[in-house]
A and B are shown apart, each in its own frame.
Chain A
Amino acid sequence: MTSRSSVTGRRLGSHEVILAVVTVLVVGGIWILSPEFRNPDNLLTQLRFMSELGFIALAMTLVILSGGIDLSVGAIFGLVCIAFGKFWQDAGLPLALAACCGLLVGVLAGAVNGFTVRLTGMPPFIVTIGTLALFRGVAEGLSQNRSVSGFPEWFQFLGSGYVFGIPVQLLLFVVLTVVFGVLVMRTVFGRSIYAIGSNEDASFFSGVQVGPTRVWIYVLSGFMSGLAAVIYVSRVTTTRADMGLGMELDAITAVVLGGTSIFGGKGTIVGTVLALVLVAALKNGLTLLGVRGDGTVVVIGAVLVVTLLISNFLGEARRT
């Protein structure tokens, strides 16, 4: 029997500790080097941007923990943007109701993913590439390259407002991080996700509700993409069909960099949040230090690959 503390110790394993140290070093380094970076306004703005991606990354953590992947989150994001605009402007629904309908579209899109994965038993990356094309295609078809704008001023609170001096979405992100943390560590649903990700057959024979859990994970992923989309629309006050293009890659980068195994069963919400902070700080910091925006993309790609290589070889060294 392992004692409780050592279980926790292993769960918040070395990857998170290394990541925390690297994040502190990077943020600290940029903090010292760049006065613009440590300007509170800049920090809050960066955290605002980070939070929107963060919603999607939180749900993606659950998806990947279960041994799946959801490549369609960026497309769901775009589809919800367009659907929300359509419900409001063309269907004439009140704005709040239109936003709820937008969220519902996200949930339905997630359900399509979940049921298709469950029914076909195909690898989730193939299923969600199909739905990526479908959702993005429907968004493009519905919008016909026209954008919706002219949202009322009160609606901008969601995307640009502050509560106690903290950006609204950052506050929401903190709350959701706690909710997701409790969800994966303290609920049957959360523990089932780890079980499925570690060994699907074993968890099925142990009475874990494998099928329904899988479906709910993708529904949750669709909902979080929708939520991120509504908040994003509130911030930029327009909708376009290409919104959220490539967002799935940013979300997966954050989750994998955060130490979640792409095979499932291993990883933490804390790791994902640390990786989100690290990537956001790298992006903003390098830009402020004069590296072109495209250079930061290279750095993030390299950080991802090198981190995994180190993690793999350290893991091998520890085992032998």
Chain B
Amino acid sequence: MAESSAKAGARRGALARFAGDYSREIGLAVLIAVICAVVYWFKPNFLSPVNVSNVLRFNAYVGVAAIGMTMIIIMRHIDISIGAIVGVSAVVATSLARDGYSNAVAWTAPILVGMAISLVNGLLVTYGRIPAIVATLGTLSILKGGMIVVTGGEFVTGIPRDFMIATVRVFNVSITFWIMIALGIATAIWMRYSATGRAIYAIGGNAAAARATGINERRITLIVFAIHGAFGGLAGLFYGSQAQNLQSAVPANIELNIIAAAVIGGVSVMGGVGTVIGALMATMFFAFVNSALLFLSVSAFWVKAVQGVMILGTLMIDLAKRWQK
């Protein structure tokens, strides 16, 4: 069975193998292109530089957080407190900036805060032996309630202009988008070629076998939670620097967007380099769908249903592939 499919792979040649390895990314890229083409046909303004750069700018934070979430999900964990991590670090960053701290402090602090929170989650999972879904449910409650207790849910106002990193443009697109791309590529390479990166896939595929080969599961899990938290904190910084006001509360629904992107991009533990990039493409796919619905005057209330169909569709495609084998 395996031998014949390997032979078939050799016969199909390099291009076909590339298409097979990266089918998810290619599929998402085609979907994005189709949506852009169709909407452009009806409303040429859809692809105007202003709209495209807005779509990229306002969704970069989801993509950054989805990179970390992809690693977490590949390891068969989950983090439902990611929305709270983004929210808390956004408030920390903007409050520091408002109080006159330098950008060096206001840009670094949220990353450290996110990392610290996520490390606590990681410790609860590894040494506390609480499953991630329950541990992060607990921290979600604590962060969500705690933030309102501390800040009273008030707006952080008067965020200084030069703090707002999301408004910095490179090639006419927000720098946050380019950072997202760079981090995505770096993480994809790291996950594919470093020992730690390969260990993530090994643990996700078969934790017992990974332990037997000498992989320190706790150590890898803690590293992944720390990196995921740092990305979550960076996402918070991006989220908080989009406007001059920010409500100090945990933003609703963010975790769903982030998890949806990660699942669609990287749910298969058979994995490969593509998964993190896939998560970024899924993020951008939803961003363009969202914008397209607005342009076509379809109510944006249907966006979430599209998300659900996409997640279930991904699972079905995965299933179909397994049946083929």
From B73, B128, B309, B311, A308 is in contact (CB under 8 Å) with B128
Contact B301 A141 (CB under 8 A): yes
Select the residue from B260, B263, B306 with max chain A CB neighbours within 10 A: B263
Contact A141 B124 (CB under 8 A): no
Q: Is A165 an interface residue (CB 8 A)?
A: no
A119 to B308, CA, bound (A): 17
- B146 cross-chain contacts in A, Cβ below 8 A: 294, 298
A135 and B135 contact, Cβ closer than 8 Å, known pairs A301-B141, A312-B128: no
Contact B308 A295 (CB under 8 A): no
In the complex, per-residue mask of A119-136: 1 if CB is within 8 Å of any chain B CB, else 0: 111110111011111111
A122 to B256, CA, bound (A): 18
From B141, B252, B304, A304 is in contact (CB under 8 Å) with B141
From B129, B142, B311, A301 is in contact (CB under 8 Å) with B142
A124 to B315, CA, bound (A): 11
B76 to chain A, nearest CB (A): 7
Contact B256 A123 (CB under 8 A): no
Q: Is A176 an interface residue (CB 8 A)?
A: no
A297 to B124, CA, bound (A): 19
Select the residue from A137, A302, A309, A312 with max chain B CB neighbours within 10 A: A137
In the complex, per-residue mask of B180-216: 1 if CB is within 8 Å of any chain A CB, else 0: 0000000000000000000000000000000000000
- A129 cross-chain contacts in B, Cβ below 8 A: 256, 259-260, 263, 311
Contact A295 B306 (CB under 8 A): no
Interface residues of B in 217-259 (CB under 8 A from A): 252, 256, 259
- A69 cross-chain contacts in B, Cβ below 8 A: 133
Q: Is A42 an interface residue (CB 8 A)?
A: no
Q: Is A99 an interface residue (CB 8 A)?
A: no
Interface residues of A in 15-50 (CB under 8 A from B): none
From A121, A122, A131, A144, B308 is in contact (CB under 8 Å) with A131
Contact B78 A125 (CB under 8 A): yes
A308 to B139, CA, bound (A): 13
A292 to B144, CA, bound (A): 13
Contact B301 A144 (CB under 8 A): yes
Q: Is A200 an interface residue (CB 8 A)?
A: no
In the complex, per-residue mask of A238-282: 1 if CB is within 8 Å of any chain B CB, else 0: 000100010001001100100000110000000000000000000
Q: Is A80 an interface residue (CB 8 A)?
A: no
Question: Who on chain A is nearest to B130 by CB?
Answer: A308
A134 to B138, CA, bound (A): 25
Contact A298 B301 (CB under 8 A): no
Contact A252 B134 (CB under 8 A): yes
A301 and B308 contact, Cβ closer than 8 Å, known pairs A130-B263, A308-B134: no
Contact A120 B316 (CB under 8 A): yes
A309 and B130 contact, Cβ closer than 8 Å, known pairs A120-B316, A134-B312, A137-B306: yes
Q: Is A138 an interface residue (CB 8 A)?
A: yes
- B135 cross-chain contacts in A, Cβ below 8 A: 305, 308
B125 to chain A, nearest CB (A): 11
A294 and B137 contact, Cβ closer than 8 Å, known pairs A130-B315, A138-B305: no
Contact A140 B315 (CB under 8 A): no
B253 to chain A, nearest CB (A): 9
Contact B139 A301 (CB under 8 A): yes
A171 to chain B, nearest CB (A): 30
A309 to B259, CA, bound (A): 26
Contact B137 A304 (CB under 8 A): yes
Contact A126 B263 (CB under 8 A): yes
A140 to B302, CA, bound (A): 7
Question: Who on chain B is nearest to A312 by CB?
Answer: B129
A262 to B316, CA, bound (A): 26
A133 to B260, CA, bound (A): 9
- B137 cross-chain contacts in A, Cβ below 8 A: 249, 252-253, 301, 304
Question: Who on chain A is nearest to B314 by CB?
Answer: A130
Contact B256 A133 (CB under 8 A): yes
A122 to B145, CA, bound (A): 32
Contact B131 A262 (CB under 8 A): yes
- A262 cross-chain contacts in B, Cβ below 8 A: 131, 133-134
Task: Identify 8 new A-B residue pairs, CB closer than 8 A, beyond the known A133-B305, A304-B134, A304-B137.
Answer: A126-B263, A131-B312, A133-B256, A249-B140, A301-B138, A302-B138, A305-B135, A308-B138
**Can you report 6 A-B residue pairs in the complex whose CB atoms are below 8 A from each other?**
A131-B308, A134-B304, A138-B308, A140-B304, A141-B304, A308-B130
